[in-house]
Amino acid sequence: MTRPKVQSVGEADAEQAIAPLTLAFATDPCIRLFYPDPRDHLTHFAAMMRIQIRHAIACRSAHCVEGFSAAAIWFPPAESVADAEANKAKRRQLDAMIEETASRDGNDDVFAALETVGKFHPEAPHWYLLAIGVDPHHQNEGLGSALMKHALPKCDADGVPAFLESANPRNVPFYVRHGFEVMREVQVGTSPTITLMVRDPR
């Protein structure tokens, strides 16, 4: 079987790369609690990804499978105090957008869980996988694995860990297969369990 071709996302490709992520996260437990109306999910999740993907494109760390049926957004390690502050600013921007647009109906525990997760985000240099997703129509074609196998050698070459958070328990075994280990689980009241995972460089 031919391995799917993975390429960097360019500025002109941003919308096409965001599309499979939006579809993939349509069943994410936290995201759908925030946006139970599918129209809100399509609007606001895509808007969040537009904000986040810009930096990844500039760093050539946004990747997609040829044909845009799967994509991933990575953030590289901070190389300076300014980089670290910029990364924190991006996270605050994302959090602010969620605060502004997400449904608060019954979601106090989810907001509290995400606030707790933020406290455990590593301070040491690391690659951060913000999002990886496959168009549901193309599931089980090895596209997610192709994206991982494209990115992880860079993490190894840099000699730093890779870090991610997953609110979907079905995805945890996939990450384990690619060398990630569970660092901790966060669950507040009725919130979904959010799994924090790390992969040491090889």
Give start and end residues of each alpha helix (H) in 136-192: 143-158, 172-177
pTM: 0.93
Q: CA distances (Å), 83 to each of 27, 42, 78, 87, in order?
A: 32, 30, 5, 6
Quick one: pLDDT band at residue 1, thresholds 50, 70, 90? low
Quick one: pLDDT band at residue 96, thresholds 50, 70, 90? confident
Per the document, the length of the chain is: 202
Quick one: pLDDT band at residue 42, thresholds 50, 70, 90? very high
Kindly list the structural domains of the chain, giving each domain's residue range(s) and its CATH number in brackets, ordered by start.
6-159 (3.40.630.30)
